[in-house]
């Protein structure tokens, strides 16, 4: 790491420890673990914002290179903005922010303030890119516009989600309603988009609405490919010598349930097979980056096994909001 940046992190770690303790003399042994955690936080934050930047430019390309020049619309909050742009004098950049504001407010209450703030940054950046960045018009072929416009828009949405934010707020509404009602996130999104496409058929034309459905399907499949869907669950197995610290982090800091079972190491090079506590938890795909960051702060050598969970029943998975 850059020496100047390392010095800043050391100074920041020392100040944090001094604020927590009345003893102003802080030892090097106390500073090193905190510096390591700060380094992990910084590296993960950089990667998350890199995902958001890539996602915004990709979505901007899908909008200005394909959909906008040909009066096409999409689903979700972006589709609502495109539809309003066709019937009002407001610019798309302004509409993207206005339409997403209610969803971001909902995200701040149902997910977390940090998630909402990152989403505000991502949506505002997308509005800036759409308004000021010039993209070339790629094609006038309607089929190519629907497929590739949806692809680049979906790629942008998916990359932003990997950066723990959204540039299309209807996913937040879908997650919220899925917790309140006996429906999946996919069902809610489908219902929202049926309403949007119906208005598109009435205001624009049936042909435009049909192409919009194709655009939506292309975008949805791309999002699934990038982040494996917002409603899928991941079974997480964690093996670490610092299992108790990780358990407390999962249960107290992130509010996630977990199961502890005992195993034995099978490769110890002459040492006896010692028993180890193994942690198992089921979390959502959106939570994985945050959990990996927190685990790396505690134990960089922790062994993680992640596998998709096709179905779950009971427990506290859907009832507990994701904490930042």
Q: What is the pLDDT of residues 45-82, one digit of tens each?
A: 888 889 999 999 999 999 999 988 888 888 888 888 88
13-26 confidence digits (pLDDT tens): 556 655 655 555 55
Mean pLDDT of 118-141: 90
Question: Residue 221 has what pLDDT?
Answer: 82
Bigger pLDDT: 83 vs 180: 83
Query: Across the chain, what does the average pLDDT equal?
Result: 80
Mean pLDDT of 196-217: 86
Question: Residue 311 has what pLDDT?
Answer: 62
Per-residue pLDDT at 220 exceeds 70: yes
Mean pLDDT of 80-105: 88
Q: How far apart are CA 22 and CA 5, in angstroms?
A: 27
Q: How far apart are CA 105 and CA 201, in angstroms?
A: 30
> What tokens does 185 get?
């996130």
293-322 confidence digits (pLDDT tens): 889 889 888 999 988 776 666 555 544 444
How far, CA to CA in Å, does 302 sit from each of 237, 242, 245, 264? Answer: 10, 8, 12, 15
Name the β-bridge partners of 276.
263
187 — pLDDT class (breaks 50, 70, 90): confident
Bigger pLDDT: 44 vs 27: 44
258-304 confidence digits (pLDDT tens): 889 888 777 665 556 677 889 999 887 778 888 888 898 898 889 99
Mean pLDDT of 120-134: 90
Angle of helix 92-110 relative to helix 76-87, nearest 10 degrees, comes to 150
184 — pLDDT class (breaks 50, 70, 90): low
How many C-beta neighbours within 10 Å does residue 61 have? 21
Per-residue pLDDT at 151 exceeds 70: yes
DSSP string, 219-274: HHHHHHHHHS-TT-EEEEEEE-TTHHHHHHIIIIIS----EEEEEE-S--TTS---
Q: Which domains does the chain have, with CATH numbers?
A: 46-227 (no CATH), 233-309 (3.30.70.120)
> What tokens does 261 get?
């079972």
Lowest mean pLDDT among 48-52, 84-88, 245-249: 84-88
SS (H, E, C) 146-215: HHHHHHHHHHHHHHHHHCCCCCCCHHHHHHHHHHHCCCCHHHHHHHHHHHHHHHHHHHCCHHHHHHHHHH
Q: How far apart are CA 92 and CA 106, in angstroms?
A: 22
SS3 278: strand
Bigger pLDDT: 4 vs 192: 192
Backbone angles phi, psi at 241, to 5 degrees: -70, -20
11 — pLDDT class (breaks 50, 70, 90): low
Question: Residue 8 has what pLDDT?
Answer: 57
- CA 284 to chain centroid, in Å, comes to 11
Name the β-bridge partners of 150.
none
- The half-sphere exposure of 169 on its side-chain side, counting CA atoms within 13 A, is 28
Question: Residue 20 has what pLDDT?
Answer: 58
């Amino acid at each position: 790491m850059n020496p100047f940046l390392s010095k800043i992190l050391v100074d920041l770690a020392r100040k944090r420890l001094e604020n927590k303790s009345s003893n102003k003399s802080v030892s090097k042994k106390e500073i090193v673990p905190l510096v390591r955690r700060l380094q992990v936080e910084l590296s993960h934050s950089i990667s998350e914002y890199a995902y958001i930047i890539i996602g915004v430019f990709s979505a901007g390309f899908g909008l200005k290179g394909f959909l906008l020049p040909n009066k096409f619309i999409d689903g979700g909050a972006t589709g609502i903005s495109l539809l309003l742009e066709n019937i009002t004098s407001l610019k798309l950049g302004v509409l993207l922010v206005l339409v997403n504001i209610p969803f971001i407010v909902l995200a701040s209450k149902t997910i977390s303030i940090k998630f909402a703030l990152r989403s505000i940054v991502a949506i505002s950046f997308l509005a800036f890119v759409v308004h000021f960045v010039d993209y070339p018009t790629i094609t006038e072929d309607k089929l190519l516009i629907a497929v590739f416009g949806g692809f680049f828009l979906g790629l942008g949405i998916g990359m932003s989600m990997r950066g723990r934010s959204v540039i299309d707020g209807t996913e937040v509404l879908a997650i919220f309603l899925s917790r309140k009602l006996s429906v999946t996130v996919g069902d809610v999104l489908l219902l929202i988009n049926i309403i949007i496409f119906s208005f598109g058929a009435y205001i624009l034309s049936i042909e435009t609405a049909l192409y919009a459905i194709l655009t939506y399907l292309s975008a949805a499949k791309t999002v699934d490919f990038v982040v494996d869907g917002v409603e899928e669950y991941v079974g997480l197995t964690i093996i670490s010598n610092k299992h108790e610290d990780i358990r407390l982090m999962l249960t107290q800091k992130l509010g996630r349930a977990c199961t502890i079972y005992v195993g034995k190491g099978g490769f110890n090079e002459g040492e006896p097979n010692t028993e180890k506590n193994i942690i198992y938890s089921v979390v959502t795909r959106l939570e994985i980056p945050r959990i990996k960051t927190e685990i790396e702060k505690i134990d960089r050598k922790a062994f993680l096994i992640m596998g998709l969970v096709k179905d779950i029943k009971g427990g506290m998975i859907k009832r507990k909001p994701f904490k930042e």
